[in-house]
Structure 1
């Protein structure tokens, strides 16, 4: 499994991209952590963004406050929604983001189902969450998730080939 971590200053753009997949029936929201719930379980981009507002207001200095992560198993890995939820929660916990609001979207628009996680990298007090050694930590977590969930391991060669795909 390969993780791609993106950072930007455009929370609305990350949410809109993923919500468009949901609206076009090429995706769904699998899980929401510390998000404001809606009466019917459906969300608009504005409703999703509202959950992140207090975090962004607490720290106006961090320019790239939005975290947009994709977790990408191989096309041969068949991952259930429950397993995707479990993997997303574990990934965010081990990366240090379990106390953050985040929303997990499943995309089904290409030959492999994969998930996108949108969050912010500033905590409730406005402190930026450390991204020290983020790529190495992420790779180690992905290897552990592969073992725990019986996924096909990604090799270094596959990582380099897939990096081109995700640019």
Structure 2
């Protein structure tokens, strides 16, 4: 499973994009809104808890490996678990499923502002944490295990390594 994270300032454009895909389906989350406008209005509640926070929008897309087939219920379960393990256990979030690419995937839009304290979720080392969470989810759900970014880097020779090999030959 591959995860791509971004942080931003505004919810409305992201929600419009997530909803606008022809095959988009709202499958989960902890919010009552059913469309982009309602959800954006609801996200304003957390925004009001911390008006000094800058990048309050957390967007992650999780893509399954080619061989994995997941239904909406499993994707929702995985999305919920991912958010909890990434430290978003008291945050607003919503999960959309898209079928607009070859890869089966979901998008999670979340507020980085915690509803219980008004503080922003700490994002230090979030890319490393995300990979660890995803590797464990792959194991627990018996999914195809994707190579992490570190393993990919360790197996790809650098330009310098290639030059040394060429000069030896």
State if a TM-score over 0.5 links the two structures.
yes
Q: Hey, what's the Cα distance between the residues in 1 that align with 2:134 and 2:123?
A: 16
Is residue 119 of structure 1 aligned with residue 129 of structure 2? no
Structure 2 residue matching 1:68: 3-state secondary structure: strand
The residue that corresponds to 1:5 in the other structure is 5
How many aligned positions are there?
Answer: 152
Query: Runs of 5+ in structure 2 lacking a partner?
Result: 154-169
Q: Hey, what's the Cα distance between the residues in 1 that align with 2:42 and 2:14?
A: 14
The residue that corresponds to 2:131 in the other structure is 139
Structure 2 residue matching 1:130: 3-state secondary structure: coil
Q: Hey, what's the Cα distance between the residues in 2 that align with 1:159 and 1:120?
A: 31
Structure 1 stretches (4+) deviating beyond 3 angstroms?
A: 156-161
Is residue 60 of structure 1 aligned with residue 51 of structure 2? yes
Please list, as runs of the form range in 1=range in 2, the aligned pairs for 1:95-106 lying within 5 A after superposition.
Answer: 95-106=86-97
Q: Hey, what's the Cα distance between the residues in 2 that align with 1:89 and 1:159?
A: 27
Q: TM-score, normalised by structure 1?
A: 0.84
- Contact kept? 1:19, 1:44, Cα under 8 Å: yes
Please list, as runs of the form range in 1=range in 2, the aligned pairs for 1:10-49 lying within 5 A after superposition.
Answer: 10-21=10-21, 24=22, 26-33=23-30, 35-37=31-33, 43-49=34-40
Query: Runs of 5+ in structure 1 lacking a partner?
Result: 38-42, 162-167
The residue that corresponds to 2:159 in the other structure is none
Structure 2 residue matching 1:67: 3-state secondary structure: strand
Please list, as runs of the form range in 1=range in 2, the aligned pairs for 1:75-86 lying within 5 A after superposition.
Answer: 75-86=66-77
Shift of 1:32: 2.4
* Residues 65-116 of structure 1 deviation map (CA, whole Å, 9 limit, x = unaligned): 1000111111221111111111001100101112211110000011121000
